[in-house]
Amino acid sequence: MSTQGVGEGEWITKYRVEDPSTGQLMLEVNFETGENKTISSIFAGTELKVTFTVNVRASSPTTLLKLKTSIQHSAVKDVYWELVTQDYELTAYNPNEQTVQFYQVSGELVMSLYGKVPITVVKDRPVLYLVVTLYSPAGETLDNIKVKVVTAAMDEFQTLLLQKENKLQSLRDSGAAPGYIELYEKVLNQSKVEAEEGYVENAIALLGTLSVSNEPVSSYVEALFLPAVGILIAVSAVLGFMFIRGRGKLQYVLLILEDQIRDLEGLTLRASKVDRTLSSSLESVKDRLKSVVGM
């Protein structure tokens, strides 16, 4: 799973993100040791407990620093903040306000922040959600903590992508047909493009077409598979094109899709004699395309 946490590490030297109800660790980052561990994805609407350390390396007793959060109030905890290091003095401390202030005194301040990621923070793409920011007296950002927030579909895609990337390596190790490996890579790359553009369901469908029971090692099966994957890549690009172009191009795109469907019908018939799983995948793609163009 990819790294979910972001920060500078200049002042906030480490932090951990947990489920406040269960205590389950979701994310842990330590800039001093270089450790960056992600246990689970963070979804919109998730309750979080973020425990972090502010390392104040030099004293400036008249400098008032400020921690601020924009996270929604927790539904399982009645405060935003919890002071962990009792020996570090805060100024006019109210644990139920979104801002905490303290004078710059050498030492370590450890705080826990409770809150809920807004449900509207993410739609089609992962976002880096700003959990907490450390400000200077002039309002400059000294450091912050951001966490990557995803949807369930994005999480499914990332999990499936990792599985397929591992499968790709095993194909290389086992000596599968070079043409198969090349186009397997193309499908992986195209799925990443689709996901980056926000078409996550389309990206998942693309990865699903790679679930074949027997990878080709002979030239005959490879020759069957190559045009099939080529069509899938073309279809993926065309579907993305449909979403981002105006109505004036729609008829042209539909004609392209109809041609792809006819090609898929021939390939599905040939595939049924070699690999039933591949045939079933092609049949599924063909049916989805038919529903798009109304055939």
The per-residue pLDDT for range 129-166, each reduced to its tens digit, is 999 999 999 999 999 999 988 877 777 888 888 888 99
| Among candidate residues 102, 132, 150, the one where a domain is terminated | 150
Q: Are 145 and 7 within 8 A, CB to CB? A: yes
Is beta strand 141-150 parallel, antiparallel or unpaired with respect to 81-83?
unpaired
| pLDDT of 167 over the 80 cut | yes
Task: Judge if 118 and 235 occupy the same domain.
Answer: no
Task: Judge if 89 and 136 occupy the same domain.
Answer: yes
**Per-residue confidence (pLDDT) for residue 277, from 0 to 100:** 55
Higher pLDDT among residues 13 and 286, named by residue? 13
Task: Judge if 161 and 137 occupy the same domain.
Answer: no
CB-based contacts of 76, cutoff 8 Å, min separation 6: 20, 21, 47, 114
Task: Judge if 12 and 106 occupy the same domain.
Answer: yes
SS3 98: coil
Widest pairwise Cα distance in the chain: 80
Q: What is the pLDDT of residues 94-110, one digit of tens each?
A: 999 999 999 999 999 99
Task: Judge if 143 and 157 occupy the same domain.
Answer: no
What's the domain count of the chain? 2
Task: Judge if 223 and 278 occupy the same domain.
Answer: yes
Task: Judge if 10 and 143 occupy the same domain.
Answer: yes
**Per-residue confidence (pLDDT) for residue 49, from 0 to 100:** 97
**Per-residue confidence (pLDDT) for residue 3, from 0 to 100:** 45
Q: Which helix (H) or strand (E) holds 49?
A: strand 47-56
3-state secondary structure 130-149: EEEEEECCCCCEEEEEEEEE
Question: What are residue 122's phi and psi, to 5 degrees?
Answer: -135, 140
Question: What are residue 127's phi and psi, to 5 degrees?
Answer: -130, 150
Q: At what angle do helices 152-174 and 200-208 cross, to 10 degrees?
A: 30
Task: Judge if 17 and 84 occupy the same domain.
Answer: yes
The mean pLDDT of 173-195, rounded to a whole number, is: 78
What CA–CA distance (Å, rounded) separates 199 from 180?
A: 25
* DSSP structural state of residue 91: B
CB-based contacts of 273, cutoff 8 Å, min separation 6: none
Vertex 135, ends 15 and 34: CA angle to 5°?
30
SS3 31: coil
Q: What is the pLDDT of residues 21-60, one digit of tens each?
A: 999 999 999 998 888 888 888 888 899 999 999 999 999 9
Task: Judge if 95 and 163 occupy the same domain.
Answer: no
| Among candidate residues 129, 150, 171, the one where a domain is terminated | 150
CATH number at residue 55: 2.70.50
Contacts 24+ apart (CB under 8 A), 281-288: 281/208, 281/209, 281/211, 281/212, 282/209, 282/228, 284/208, 285/205, 285/209, 285/232, 285/235, 286/261, 288/205
Higher pLDDT among residues 64 and 189, named by residue? 64
What CA–CA distance (Å, rounded) separates 58 from 188?
A: 49
| pLDDT of 192 over the 70 cut | yes
**Per-residue confidence (pLDDT) for residue 202, from 0 to 100:** 77
| Among candidate residues 150, 184, 202, the one where a domain is terminated | 150
Task: Judge if 197 and 253 occupy the same domain.
Answer: yes
Of 48-57, 192-201, 275-284, where does mean pLDDT reach its minimum? 275-284
Task: Judge if 139 and 262 occupy the same domain.
Answer: no
Higher pLDDT among residues 108 and 122, named by residue? 108
Residue that has been written with the tokens 């063909």 in this structure: 286
Name the average pLDDT for the chain.
77
Number of neighbouring beta carbons within 10 Å of residue 132: 26
Distance of CA 196 to the CA centre of its chain: 10
Range of 254's domain? Answer: 153-293
Q: How far is CA 248 from CA 65, 235, 240, 253, 260, in A?
A: 56, 19, 15, 10, 20
What CA–CA distance (Å, rounded) separates 185 from 211?
A: 14
Task: Judge if 185 and 87 occupy the same domain.
Answer: no
Beta bridge partners of 7: 145
Q: What is the pLDDT of residues 231-279, one digit of tens each?
A: 555 555 555 544 444 444 445 444 545 555 565 565 555 555 555 555 5
